[in-house]
Amino acid sequence: MQTLATDRVIIVGAGLGALYAALKLAPHPVVMISPEVLGEGASSAWAQGGVAAAMDAADSPDSHAADTVKAGAGTVNPAVADLVTREARDYILDLTTMGTPFDRTEDGGYVLSREAAHSFARVVRVKGDQAGAEIMAALIAQVRNTPSIQVLEGTMARDLEVTDGRVTGVVIQEAGGERSGPVLLRGAAVLLAGGGSGGLYALTTNPPRIRGQVIGMAARAGALIADAEFVQFHPTAMDVGEDPAPLATEALRGEGAILINKHGERFMQAIHPDAELAPRDIVARAIYAQVKADNRPMLDTRDVLGEAIKTQFPAVAEYCVRNGIDPAVDPIPIAPAAHYHMGGIATDTQGRATLDGLWVCGEASSTGLHGANRLASNGLLEALVYARICAEGMAQTLNHVAEAVPLELTFPDGGMPPAPEAVQSLRQTMTQNVGVVRDRAGLTRALATIAALEVAHGDSPSFLNMCATATLIAAGALLREESRGAHERSDFPEPADGPGQRSEMYLTDALAVRAQVCKELS
């Protein structure tokens, strides 16, 4: 295998956390591994709601932290919640300085939306539902103008090199078709910021490339994984047959939109005192029940927004138009879809994984902030906070480098892309058996199917990474014999007694669970 050595920090990913970390590392040279052109295919760019921060004079970081802990259903690390929320306002101001055009009031304040499980309106947004895209655009402009940052667009990571327990390099290949041979890139340090795993599900709001590969890659290298079973299903993905499913932002419900079924019944009022603004897991399960009952759940914005939805929430309006829906006249059909992975590569409060030389930020990480149920719009905030923390931590380990020679890559021929039919089978298995509501029978079927797919298609490292993450999610869900937050077991419908416990698991542990299940089924 061709090997390239560089003094640059290697950042795997090109979303919000990756971009922000690269900027905070400047002027130390950085190389970013980006499967797409910057700004395309990153989950951050698809985020609609915004960034949660206590910006109102009546609000406080303490209140924000308390809401985060409460939403997380007993498994949030309070120290991490305090750490992340305490400086949230500073990140909004920093992004503003970098050129993010946050929505502002006539007196210059920030327009704030209230989302599910928040006790205050504290979600800072851009053009209604354009927060992710606009923040990314501002950061990309900064990155393009920073000489110390080199972006390798059209490349993807597939393996980590580990030497004596330390991550020393990343194996990369061309992303287009994934048919190129590999190149080993060794750098000064490695930051994984490559997103979560929502695309492992057939019904998802995530970009097509976000299928757990980064989490799986770290797990295969021996990193500890935490809270793998906690996958958040967004309640209001648009049920219009698109893959991925367009998202109808939670901010619509913050503005007063309601949930109804095909009979015109508003069903959330009987389920939770906060009705449509109940925690996401509760709303998702209520909508899922309506889907299962063939009651066609819908999001109704007609009375509260009417024609204004088309200017205040342009992304949602565009999704509606291309699917023949006029949201000023028609309610929007919805269904829960895999949206955010609370679990991921376990990190300490400095963003370090259990493998030396490896840092992680964003959705690929599991910091302890989200617990069993992420508080709405905390995802972008966490990515920003830990991107800076990781950048500062890595900087302390680096030798001074005035300038790094730009990398020139030539990939050899070869490589094995994942078989499309195998990927689709894996995604269907996850949606059918490891979805909104789970049970032992479905989880054992999932693990057996994943094992068979891995045997049949294990010549693709990218597919092995997907299977590793899927195995960790399903095994974690099988072992957690309770219902907590986004993890709902119909055969264990109540939370376990006592305080909630986070889960920790190595891939070897999950594979042992899978092997036992396969033995029982044989």
Q: Which residues are catalytic?
A: 280
How far apart (Å, rounded) are the C-alpha atoms in residues 137 and 39?
7
Dist. CA 474–CA 143, nearest whole Å: 38
Torsion angle of alpha carbons 25, 29, 33, 38, nearest 10°? 70
Q: What angle do CA 116, 20, 207 make, to 5 degrees?
A: 60
DSSP-derived letter for residue 285 is H
Are 370 and 378 within 8 A, CB to CB?
yes
Q: Whose CA is closest to 200, among 34, 343, 73?
A: 343
Is residue 365 classed exposed, middle or buried when 0-12, 13-18 and 19+ CB atoms within 10 A define those classes? buried
Q: How far is CA 395 from CA 8, 188, 365, 398, 401, in A?
A: 11, 10, 19, 5, 11
Instruction: Write down the H helix ranges in 129-264.
Output: 131-144, 213-221, 251-254
Q: Are 411 and 181 within 8 A, CB to CB?
A: yes
The stretches of 405-460 forming alpha helices (DSSP H) are 420-433, 440-457
User: Is residue 266 within 8 Å of 302, Cβ to Cβ?
Assistant: no
Q: How many helices (H) and strands (E) does the chain have?
A: 16, 20
Closest CA to 193 of 323, 404, 367: 367
> 48: Cβ–Cβ under 8 A, 6 or more apart, which residues?
129, 130, 131, 132, 247, 249, 251, 315, 316
